[in-house]
Structure 1
Amino acid sequence: MSRSGQAAPPPFIGLVAHEVRWRLLSELARSDLRVRELVALVEQPQNLVSYHLRLLRSGGLVTVRRSSHDGRDSYYHLDLERLGQGLAATGAALHPALGPVPAPPAPREATACVLFACTGNSARSPIAEALLRRRTGGRVEVASAGSHPKPRLHPAAVRVLRERYGIDVADRRPRRLDDLADRGFSHVISLCDKVREVFPDFGGHPRRIHWSIPDPAAVGEGPADEFQAAFARTAAEIDARIGYLIPRLAQPEQEIRP
């Protein structure tokens, strides 16, 4: 309490209200990014950007993962769920009637066309394709492909979709990214650090988004339950990210960017 008897502002306010940190959060709300990309986007020195990223990480809003393409690189990711919880708690601290604003619904018609991409198109990208199609009931056109597609979907990916989400993709076969380069996608989302570096050019200037998600198959063939658990965690992360993607599919770009 302050001397006037009023409660002090929640620490969350101070964490997100700084201009540079807010700009970092705004960029990370759209895509996972590397430090040098954030430096260019917010037009601030790297040491200053790194300082503010450390504060956001300490506050639990931002996480970092080593790039699977280049281990010397790292991708920063905004935890939108934690951010939403902080915003809701801040509103409630001011007035109990203030709460989270409902997200816009998915588009009623197939106005968005989304491509998910990874290297083999055998796990992460087909999982994302299946989950977005399920969540939107076919109202969003969605595809997936890989830069070096595998002969078949990974059995653990097929299993996790069937057992946890009731989706059967057993008959689906991986596709090559180059074969879809002439499609008119509105959103192109890479789920693999490697494939992000080899994207072909897509016509129509789609929104490019990156989700830095490790390959669940890279955990190695250990105990069967642990191996399957890695795929379950990956599917859960992708499903959570898709939940935040859907409202943006109905918004034109000018409404999204500040």
Structure 2
Amino acid sequence: MASSLQAAPAFVQLAAHPVRWRLLTLLAAGDHRVRELVELVGQPQNLVSYHLRLLRGGGLVTARRSTFDARDSYYHLDLERCAQELADTGAVLHPALRLDPAPPSPPSSAAHAGRPVVLFTCTGNSARSPIAEALLRHHAGGRVEVTSAGSHPRPRLHPYAVHLLRERHGIDLIDQRPRHVDTMAGRRFDYVISLCDKVREVCPDIGGHPRRLHWSIPDPATPSRTEGAGSPAFARTMEEIDTRIRYLLPVLTPQEVSS
């Protein structure tokens, strides 16, 4: 009697291919354009594009047009979807192998020697980068030193950003003002994370050889054809940044998160 064979879960089939696994690991760190992925993977562009289409079809990867050059697209790994797929895959093999997300480590108000230093950048330093700065400081609880700056800072923070941070997280930025990236000269950073496509291209190099990551997040203050630039756009932007921050924190403080 022939035995019935059960196909491996879709996540396993997608992730098991060496090229797709390499793409997933690269996108887990930050967003990339196709030509950058081609260079990093070392495979022809048509092959990389083919595997990206499969990952997009599986819901693991999304693409977003560059707000700096609309001919380009940035690819982004949906970490929340990956976490759920991994949990479901474990449960398929055995119920006891479901991988539930680890609870967040409790914040600490104590200063930590040698804590990582992070700089968030965007163009105006009025919404995305100060939101990221505030949320990382909030979630890290003193374990990370963080600031933000812009290539062309606005006169003040956007009122929607200030309002939503206070309403949803109890964070008060009423007295904070946008900063210019030039004011960061001479400071040491372990990570420099750009949140808009334009600043990624025009931001000057930061000394000290920090690790540079990119999060391609549209400006919520700029209306698009599909949504306005009001409070809902800011709320969606804040949710996306908050998700990325939560997955960044274990990378920044792996020992403390695991302890």
Task: Give 1:246's aligned amino acid.
Answer: L
- Deviation for aligned residue 1:137: 1.2
The amino acid across from 1:90 in the alignment is: T
Residue in structure 1 matched with residue 249 of structure 2 by the alignment: 246
Q: Deviations 1:202-238 (Å, cap 9, x if unpaired)?
A: 2221110000000000027xx99x7111101100100
**Further displaced range: 231-240 or 6-15:** 6-15
Provide closer, same or farther for how the CA distance between residues 106 and 76 of structure 1 changes in structure 2, counting only shifts above 3 A: farther
For residues 57-112 of structure 1, what are the alpha-carbon distances to aligned partners after superposition, in whole Å with 9 as ceiling and x for unaligned?
00000000000110111000000110111111111100111122638858973511
Aligned residue number for residue 238 of structure 2:
235
CA separation in 1, counterparts of 2:102 and 2:95?
16
Match of 2:195 among 191, 203, 207: 191
Question: C-alpha separation between the residues in 1 aligned to 2:137 and 2:179?
Answer: 17
Q: In the alignment, what sits opposite 1:78?
A: 77
Alpha-carbon separation, structure 1, partners of 2:23 and 2:107:
28
Q: 1:104 to 1:43 in 2, by over 3 A?
A: farther
Deviates more, 1:105-114 or 1:47-56: 105-114
Question: In structure 2, the residue corresponding to 1:65 is in which secondary structure?
Answer: strand
Which residue of the partner structure matches residue 256 of structure 1? none
Equivalent residue number for residue 216 of structure 2: 212
Aligned to 1:116: 120
Shift, 1:8, TM fit: 2.6
C-alpha distance in 1 between matches for 2:185 and 2:34: 28
Give the Å deviation of 1:199. 2.1
Report what 1:45 is aligned to: 44
- What amino acid is aligned across from residue 70 of structure 2 in structure 1? G
* Mapped pair 1:131 → 2:130: no
- State percent identity of aligned pairs: 67
Letter in 1 for 2:46: N
Question: 5+ residue gaps in structure 1?
Answer: 253-258
1:21 counterpart residue number: 20
The alignment's TM-score, normalised by the length of structure 1, stands at 0.91
TM-score normalised according to structure 2 size: 0.90
The verdict on how the C-alpha distance between 1:3 and 1:202 changes in structure 2, with shifts beyond 3 A counting, is farther
| Partner residue, 1:31 | 30
Supply the distance in 1 between the matched residues of 2:30 and 2:231 (Cα, whole angstroms). 27
